[in-house]
Amino acid sequence: MTSTRAPELATLLVSCPDRRGIVAALAQLLYGHGANILDSDQHTDPIEQQFFQRIRFDLSELITDRGTLERALAEVAERFQMNYRLLYAARPKRVALFVSKYEHCLYDLLLRHRAGELSCEIPVIVSNHPDLERAAREFGIPFVVVENTAATRAAAESREHALLKEHDVDVVVLARYMQVLSADFISRWEGRIINIHHSFLPAFVGGRPYHQAYERGVKLIGATAHYATAVLDEGPIIEQDVVRASHRDSVEDLVRKGRDLEKFVLARALRWHINDRVLIYGNKTVVFD
């Protein structure tokens, strides 16, 4: 008889030293508690000898309870020296967008969210300039200006932390936010700040990458979405893409082509993050299909 219960979805992300029996142990654990595995993906890094797995499953016919399942999972994790995250899908992730004056990434994310392409909530937009308040107004999202200069940085970041706490934010997206965040701010949001850099990292780090690319006469330009770390533009990469360039392209041509890439790359990175498809290890990521 087919169940009429609504699905209660959860995702398990696992990383641990590679050894036999990991897949079987997790499958048996979930089956024994009545969870129905919907899909599973795994990867082994043969150099680091690390194992990674993502399991998405349905809890609607659980024969125990979530607490019992979580305790059993903790026991298996200890046996296999696992780092793991168990994430329930009932509560959409809450995303804060940080912007300055460039509007292309902001509008793209807002339109995708309105169209249902991004399964998250956007409770607040934070900016160090008032220019894009009209965009927030169009989409009915609170817009908060926090002045952020070298002289006001500590106070600005304190205000930003308060806003993120007030809006119960899970992840921060730097949608062309033209400020360098402090190491303290980043450490408090480690693995939860997604930045878009307008070059194919590690090439052309820092400012004015399209001008750097033009000066080198590159034949490809790119964009990179990565997790922000205390070292500028060197965090774990989530997604990248490139487009052809030629000797005929001016700096303005490179900027135009690059902005198209920035939108697509940032949207994909955010989608993968909010769908619990990204695992960070070291300064790299595993992005599950």
Instruction: Give residue-wise pLDDT tens across range 35-48.
Output: 999 999 999 999 99
Token readout for 137 is: 């107004």
pLDDT (0 to 100) of residue 1 = 42
Taking alpha carbons only, the member of 11, 76, 82, 13 closest to residue 50 is 82
- Of 84, 194, 172, the closest CA to residue 122 belongs to 172
Active site residues: 233
Confidence at residue 208, expressed as pLDDT on a 0 to 100 scale = 82
The kind and range of the H/E element at 109 are: helix 104-114
Half-sphere exposure of 60 (CA within 13 A, CB side): 12
What average pLDDT does this structure show over 86-111? 95
pLDDT in tens, 117-126: 999 999 999 9
DSSP class per residue in 176-191: S--SPPPHHHHHHTTT
What is the dotted CATH code of the domain comprising 9-88? 3.30.70.260
Q: Is the pLDDT of residue 3 over 60?
A: no
The sheet carrying 171-174 orders its strands as 143-145, 120-127, 93-99, 171-174, 193-197, 220-227, 237-244
> Residue 28 and residue 43: Cα distance in Å, rounded?
19
CATH 3.40.50.170 is right for the domain spanning 93-287: yes
Domain ranges of the chain: 9-88, 93-287
